[in-house]
Amino acid sequence: MNILAFVESRGGKLRGAGLEALCTAADLASNNHGTISALLVGANSAGLANELGKYGASKVYVADNAELNGYTPEGYREAVIAAMIAAQADVVVLSATVMGRDLAPVLAARLKAAFLPDCVSIESDGGKIVVKRPVYAGRCLMTLAATSLPAVISLRPKAFPANVGDARPVETVKLAVDLAGKIKSRLVEERAEAVGKLDVSEADIIVAGGRGLKGPENFHLVEELAAALKGAVGASRPVVDSGWRPHAEQVGQTGKVVGPTLYIAAGISGAIQHLAGMRSSKVIVAINKDADAPIFKSADYGIVGDALEVLPALTKAVQALNH
């Protein structure tokens, strides 16, 4: 079984989720006595290839056509297929990030491949790949097996580790991708989040606020605790819909799926659609003034109290520990 890992990068930087895909793909290849190759797409990505040696890659294909500077499903699909042909890969592993969730089904359809999306665990038994994926907003786990190859597997971000190992030499291969007449859409504009702001899907600690914060003027309390913990700010959907916080911070079924080590939910009721995005967090702390709020059923630790008082008290305590 030869495996290709599509390693996502953005703004000339490798994404953590891309490295998780590479490490998982490398493990899968080694368990099945197959080869592992990686693919980087976009401008300046060649400079990142050597870095991948630490994460299990020995051969890295690089597609840096000018037309691939900005995601398009057709352009990236062609790059992945070209790399699969070059690497003689029959399995492609990528992360189910916003881009991956768009690209993976496009690839599977074009390759007429077995499609195993949004996995939280993978096993391979005698060359057969078996995965688990959450369904019904995280209430159930579905077990899926690929009955044929090729296969396209996408991994839920943060569900798999990106372990750094010994740096090994990397062979970089420039990939020719024939894009003539293939690209049907064009990236018109991309707006970056404020510089230095940590994205919820990459963060190891998240402090999220809900409608219980009462208004946007109180979100500085969430920001201050997040800053003290060196974490990111998250939000529930009504908070985003009301314009209190940007959509990039929304956690849940229609927002981002996160899996940090610590998730602090302040003034969030714990609706199933919110839980769908944060349930796999390692430790969940809930702050809610209603002792019967559903969020407490999913929380490891609960504080029954007014978030407007509890948040500054926690920030003060963390700041004291930091000194």
Ligand X SMILES: Cc1cc2nc3c(=O)[nH]c(=O)nc-3n(C[C@H](O)[C@H](O)[C@H](O)COP(=O)(O)OP(=O)(O)OC[C@H]3O[C@@H](n4cnc5c(N)ncnc54)[C@H](O)[C@@H]3O)c2cc1C
User: Binding residues for ligand X, per CB under 6 A?
Assistant: 210-212, 236-239, 250-255, 267-269, 271, 273-274, 277, 287-290, 293, 306-308
Of 175 and 235, the one with the shorter C-beta distance to ligand X is: 235
Of 196 and 243, the one with the shorter C-beta distance to ligand X is: 243
Q: Report the residue closest to ligand X, judged by CB.
A: 252
Q: Least Å distance between CB 238 and ligand X?
A: 5
In degrees to the nearest 10, what's the CA dihedral of 92, 155, 197, 282?
-150
Of 66 and 140, the one with the shorter C-beta distance to ligand X is: 140
Q: Least Å distance between CB 224 and ligand X?
A: 16
Of 104 and 265, the one with the shorter C-beta distance to ligand X is: 265
Q: Least Å distance between CB 260 and ligand X?
A: 16
DSSP classification of residue 60: E
Of 14 and 310, the one with the shorter C-beta distance to ligand X is: 310
- Quickly list DSSP for 254-296: TSB----SEEEEES----HHHHHHHTT-SEEEEEES-TT-THH
The tokens describing 109, both together, are: 């359809």
Q: Least Å distance between CB 214 and ligand X?
A: 6
Q: Least Å distance between CB 304 and ligand X?
A: 9
Of 288 and 298, the one with the shorter C-beta distance to ligand X is: 288
Contact 318, 229 (CB under 8 A): yes
Q: Which residues, including other chains, have CB under 8 Å from residue 98's CB and lie 6 or more apart?
A: 256
CB atoms < 10 A from the CB of 114, how many? 18
DSSP classification of residue 175: P
Q: Least Å distance between CB 277 and ligand X?
A: 6
Contact 31, 124 (CB under 8 A): yes
Contact 208, 234 (CB under 8 A): yes
d(CA 258, CA 290): 25
* Residues linked to residue 167 through DSSP beta bridges, in sequence order: none
